[in-house]
């Protein structure tokens, strides 16, 4: 990564000193100096894949992985590795969630119709 402090740039405001919540103060990437979490401009694909795998290895031992991942999914964060997932992987998770929610709504609607016909 171009800026060795760039990993800090993905730390959202609520992980700042004003709100030192446990999930951000315990983030394993806070001490990362390698800039693994965001792509430098014009990064070749092979380099990106290798960097993302390294970032994911940091995430895998991070005590706040689930909190970080949920934050990135809810925002949603469009760039970088968060909670062990790349941006593309988060898009897949979000699409699956939307599909699942749609299925549940449809099941509830059908259930209501069956109950009303009762």
Binding residues are 29, 59, 62, 68
Site for ligand SF4 in 32-71 (CB under 6 A): 37, 58-59, 62, 64-65, 68
Cα 96 from Cα 48, distance rounded (Å): 25
Q: What angle do CA 2, 83, 37 make, to 5 degrees?
A: 5
Angle between helices 65-74 and 45-60 (to 10 degrees): 130
State the Cα–Cα distance between residues 37 and 40, nearest whole angstrom: 10
Q: Which residues are annotated as a binding site for [4Fe-4S] cluster?
A: 29, 59, 62, 68
Stretch that binds ligand SF4, among 26-34, 39-47, 92-100, 109-117 (CB under 6 A): 26-34
Out of 38, 82, 86, 90, the only residue in the binding site for ligand SF4 (CB under 6 A) is 82
- Interface residue list for ligand SF4 (CB under 6 A): 27-29, 37, 58-59, 62, 64-65, 68, 81-84
């Amino acid at each position: 990564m171009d800026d060795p402090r760039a990993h800090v740039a993905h730390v959202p405001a609520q992980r700042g000193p004003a709100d030192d919540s446990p999930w951000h103060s315990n983030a394993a990437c806070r001490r990362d100096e390698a800039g693994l979490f965001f792509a430098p401009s014009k990064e070749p694909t092979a380099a990106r894949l290798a960097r993302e795998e390294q970032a994911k290895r940091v995430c895998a031992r991070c005590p706040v992985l689930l909190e970080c991942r949920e934050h990135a999914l809810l925002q949603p964060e469009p760039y970088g590795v968060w909670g062990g997932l790349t941006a593309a992987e988060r898009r897949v998770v979000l699409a699956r969630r939307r599909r699942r929610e749609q299925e549940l709504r449809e099941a509830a609607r059908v259930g209501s119709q069956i109950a009303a016909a009762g």
